């Protein structure tokens, strides 16, 4: 992994919601652990077996996900003590992000090359997820929606968008 010095990070990127999100879930194992949690895995051994991940890496990533309030560590057995890891409300709120990432990945593949697809649980029919604006119902992946500085933007973020929203 390439290390980035904090002096190389622009001020506006330090406050950017995208960089904040990536800081918490942008690492390979964390995304895979969250995906497994959405599939119902909760126990250390289940994660380890399914992902073929070392104990030390798994322990570290689970601790980080718990510290970030994405997973909650709960004891389910007293003797010997055993714990499970369950999604918190904050963790569950990441499901659309995981779905969108998987859909984007599948778009890069031919249909017969995809090893996992999203289906309607009732009809078992494949679905094509898209992100839409809650108010208008319009897709947000086109040029009609752009980023601009928000009310809490620093001077650096305001300067980035000083000429108005950037075009997509």
List, for residues 56-87, the tens digit of each pLDDT value.
Answer: 999 999 999 999 999 999 999 999 999 999 99
Helix, strand, coil shares, percent, the chain, to 5: 45, 10, 45
Q: Name the token pair of 45.
A: 């051994």
Could you give the angle at which helices 44-51 and 55-67 cross, rounded to 10 degrees? 120
> Token pair 């895979």 is at which residue?
32
Which DSSP category does 112 fall into? G
Residues 36, 50 contacting (CB under 8 angstroms): yes
pLDDT of residue 21: 78
Instruction: Provide the 10 A C-beta neighbour count for residue 25.
Output: 20
Report yes or no on whether pTM surpasses 0.85. no
Percent of the chain predicted with pLDDT > 90: 55
pLDDT of residue 11: 62
List, for residues 139-164, the tens digit of each pLDDT value.
Answer: 998 888 888 888 888 888 888 888 76
List, for residues 4-55, the tens digit of each pLDDT value.
Answer: 555 566 666 667 777 777 776 777 899 999 999 999 999 999 999 999 999 9
pLDDT of residue 61: 95
Return d(Cα 94, Cα 69) in angstroms, integer: 12
Q: Name the token pair of 143.
A: 């040029």
75 sits in which H/E element: strand 71-77
Per the omega criterion (within 30 degrees of 0), is the bond before 92 cis?
no
Q: What's the average model confidence in pLDDT over 122-149?
A: 91
Question: Considering the chain, what is the average pLDDT of its residues?
Answer: 87
Return d(Cα 146, Cα 96) in angstroms, integer: 20
């Amino acid at each position: 992994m390439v290390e980035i010095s904090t002096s190389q990070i622009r001020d506006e990127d330090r406050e950017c919601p995208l960089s904040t999100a990536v800081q918490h879930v942008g690492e390979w194992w964390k995304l895979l652990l969250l995906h497994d949690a959405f599939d119902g895995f909760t126990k250390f051994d289940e994660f380890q077996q399914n992902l073929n991940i070392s104990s030390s890496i798994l322990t570290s990533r689970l601790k980080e996900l718990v510290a970030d309030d994405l997973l909650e560590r709960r004891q389910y057995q007293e003797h010997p003590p055993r714990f499970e890891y369950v999604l918190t409300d904050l963790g569950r709120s990441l499901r659309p992000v995981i779905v969108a990432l998987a859909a984007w990945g599948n778009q890069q593949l031919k249909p017969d090359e995809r090893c996992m697809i999203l289906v309607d649980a009732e009809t078992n029919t494949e679905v094509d997820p898209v992100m839409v604006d809650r108010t208008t119902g319009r897709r947000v992946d086109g040029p009609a929606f752009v980023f601009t500085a928000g009310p809490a933007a620093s001077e650096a973020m305001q300067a980035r968008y000083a000429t108005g929203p950037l075009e997509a």
